[in-house]
Amino acid sequence: MNEVKKTLRDSAKVRWGILVLVSFLMAANYYFYDALSPLKGLLQEKLNFSSQDFGLVAGFYAFPNTFLLMAILGGIILDKLGIRPTGFLFAVFMLIGAFLTAYGATDYYREGGLGYGLMNSFWSSYSPELKMMSLGMLIFGLGAETSIVVASKIIVKWFKGYEIALAFGINLSIARIGTALAFNVSPRLDFGDSWTLPIWVAVMLLLIGFVGFLFYLMFDVKLDRQQQIKTSLIDKDEEFHISDLTKLFTNKSFLLITALCVTFYAGVFPFLKFAPDFFFHKYGVSRETSGDIASLLPYGTVIFTPLFGWLVDKKGKSASLMIYGALLLLIVHLLFSFTTFNVYALMVLLGIAFSLVPAAMWPAVAKIVPEYRIGTAYGTMFSLQNLGLFGVPILAGYILDVTNSDVTPQMIEEGSKLYYTPTILMFAIFGVLGVVFALLLKRDDKTSGYGLELPSNASKEE
């Protein structure tokens, strides 16, 4: 009997080490994305931003993936060229975008620095600071979403046939530590004369994550050589064709899980952008405490996401867990809207919801889509997900401005509070839609044969 040749992915120590290395870049990505959230009040004070302006900066993160379909194109590029060139390219985009976002808030830029005149020469109703920071977030988003797709494919590459759901769960946990630290650290950094320091710290973390990714690439090369995989091209019968997108968009299970992805994340990430400000105004806590409360959600996922990932690996029930998570999201937003129920408890519950759905959803995609098309599939999901990440923060800011049109920044400084209920109810609507799509997905799984209710390493007979 021939002995099966061992590769790096067969070593548990190497697999989990790779996971931690790649997840750090994800954590830096998440940290930068949320670093501005606790600074909303400061941006309004220093740059004269309105709530809608803040929503625009946050929303432009999703612009390239919503209107230019860059996450889909990034997924196609990933499947075509592989992890190394794709990951490197889009990580560089992240760094450039993060730098421009931070630069747009600096005194040097505001006093006529490089690019100020250009940004001041068009769309005069928007400030040069708003335009530069929005451009930076656009370029950052161009790289960030595809980088997440790359990380997802790396996990499939190293963990398929092993502890894939647990690996996805731990990856998300490490990434969301970045989100939690952004809420904890950003409002506490000593601004001094340079109030933009929290943004620059986020840029530095991205740079460190980028260096870590370069280190990972050496392992990726070695694994490909062990598996005798060509470094630039995939097999001819697996080359990308436009018909592959047609197959995705005619796959009912894929459409339903994508619709759940869009609606569920629209009720979470945009809410987090406004959460510290919401807690400040509704519950009367300090800005620092508001950030701490918001951080309970990502900290909760650090515990619960791997737990639910382990459950999916061992017991299955992915479709059911997605229903429970979407329902819990709806309940929490309704309680935020109409009650003063303990805010700490509600954020823990939201953290559980935010663990249930991703821990079940992302491994489930690997059952629905062939591995050689997984990049395109994840890219498509992320691109459509960005519809919510682009439009919902802007809509939330607009609703907040309209429902508080009589409240000026000076009145807020003097103690007036913003009325947030209509804005939070908007987030609850996405919870309703998420429940509907999750229920339809579970029903469809009974006939699709993908076995979403089965453990990760099992599959239904077609």
Rounded Cα distance between 254 and 414, Å, is 51
The reported pLDDT for the residue numbered 236 is 45
Taking the CA atoms of residue 166, residue 360, residue 330 and residue 33 in that order, the dihedral angle to the nearest 10 degrees is: 60
Q: Which domains does the chain have, with CATH numbers?
A: 12-448 (1.20.1250.20)
Identify which has the larger pLDDT, 460 or 320: 320
Taking the CA atoms of residue 78, residue 165, residue 387 and residue 71 in that order, the dihedral angle to the nearest 10 degrees is: 0
Rounded Cα distance between 40 and 33, Å, is 13
Rounded Cα distance between 6 and 21, Å, is 22
Q: Does residue 229 register a pLDDT over 60?
A: no
Question: With bands split at pLDDT 50, 70 and 90, how would you rate the model's confidence at 243?
Answer: low
Question: With bands split at pLDDT 50, 70 and 90, how would you rate the model's confidence at 461?
Answer: very low
Rounded Cα distance between 179 and 191, Å, is 20
Rounded Cα distance between 422 and 400, Å, is 8
The reported pLDDT for the residue numbered 422 is 93
DSSP assignments along 266-312, one per residue: HTTHHHHHHHHHHHHHHH---HHHHHHHHHHHHHHHHHHHHHHHHHH
Q: Cα angle vertex 360, ends 436, 276, to 5°?
A: 75
Q: Does residue 232 register a pLDDT over 60?
A: no
Mean pLDDT for the stretch of residues 439-444: 92
Q: Does residue 156 register a pLDDT over 60?
A: yes
Question: With bands split at pLDDT 50, 70 and 90, how would you rate the model's confidence at 462?
Answer: very low
Sign of CA dihedral 163, 165, 168, 170: negative
Alpha helices in 104-237 (DSSP H): 107-110, 116-119, 128-159, 164-185, 197-226
The reported pLDDT for the residue numbered 413 is 61
Per-residue pLDDT tens over the stretch 420-432:
899 999 999 999 9
Number of C-beta neighbours around residue 24 at 10 A: 22
Q: Does residue 233 register a pLDDT over 60?
A: no
The reported pLDDT for the residue numbered 76 is 74
Return the closest-CA partner of residue 9 out of 162, 169, 212: 162
Rounded Cα distance between 255 and 260, Å, is 9
The reported pLDDT for the residue numbered 414 is 58
Give, rounded to a whole angstrom, the gap between the first and last alpha carbons of the chain.
32
Per-residue pLDDT tens over the stretch 142-153:
888 788 888 888
Mean pLDDT for the stretch of residues 437-444: 92
Per-residue pLDDT tens over the stretch 290-339:
888 988 888 888 888 888 888 888 888 888 999 999 999 999 999 999 99
Sign of CA dihedral 184, 263, 256, 234: negative
DSSP reduced 3-state for 241:
coil
Question: With bands split at pLDDT 50, 70 and 90, how would you rate the model's confidence at 409?
Answer: low
On whether the CB atoms of residues 409 and 382 are closer than 8 A, the answer is no
Give backbone dihedrals phi and psi of 155, rounded to 5 degrees, phi first: -65, -45
DSSP reduced 3-state for 129:
helix
Mean pLDDT for the stretch of residues 253-274: 91
% pLDDT > 70, the chain:
89
Q: Does residue 244 register a pLDDT over 90?
A: no
Structure tokens at 438: 């999750």
Rounded Cα distance between 244 and 246, Å, is 5
On whether the CB atoms of residues 270 and 388 are closer than 8 A, the answer is yes
On whether the CB atoms of residues 379 and 64 are closer than 8 A, the answer is no
Identify which has the larger pLDDT, 176 or 344: 344
Return the closest-CA partner of residue 300 out of 357, 363, 358, 349: 349
Per-residue pLDDT tens over the stretch 91-119:
999 999 999 999 988 888 988 889 988 99
Which residue is listed with tokens 């904890």? 184
Which residue is listed with tokens 């436009």? 242
On whether the CB atoms of residues 37 and 294 are closer than 8 A, the answer is yes
Mean pLDDT for the stretch of residues 161-190: 81
The reported pLDDT for the residue numbered 437 is 95
The reported pLDDT for the residue numbered 456 is 66
Q: Does residue 200 register a pLDDT over 70?
A: yes
% pLDDT > 90, the chain:
25
Alpha helices in 341-373 (DSSP H): 343-368
Model-level pTM greater than 0.85?
Answer: no
Question: With bands split at pLDDT 50, 70 and 90, how would you rate the model's confidence at 192?
Answer: low
The reported pLDDT for the residue numbered 240 is 52
Q: Does residue 238 register a pLDDT over 60?
A: no
Amino acid at 44: Q
Q: Does residue 386 register a pLDDT over 80?
A: no
The reported pLDDT for the residue numbered 246 is 75
What's the chain's average pLDDT? Answer: 83
Structure tokens at 146: 């595809």
Question: With bands split at pLDDT 50, 70 and 90, how would you rate the model's confidence at 359?
Answer: confident
Rounded Cα distance between 454 and 238, Å, is 27
Identify which has the larger pLDDT, 2 or 394: 394
Mean pLDDT for the stretch of residues 405-421: 73
Alpha carbon 88 to its chain's center: 19
Rounded Cα distance between 131 and 56, Å, is 9
On whether the CB atoms of residues 435 and 263 are closer than 8 A, the answer is no
Question: With bands split at pLDDT 50, 70 and 90, how would you rate the model's confidence at 46?
Answer: confident
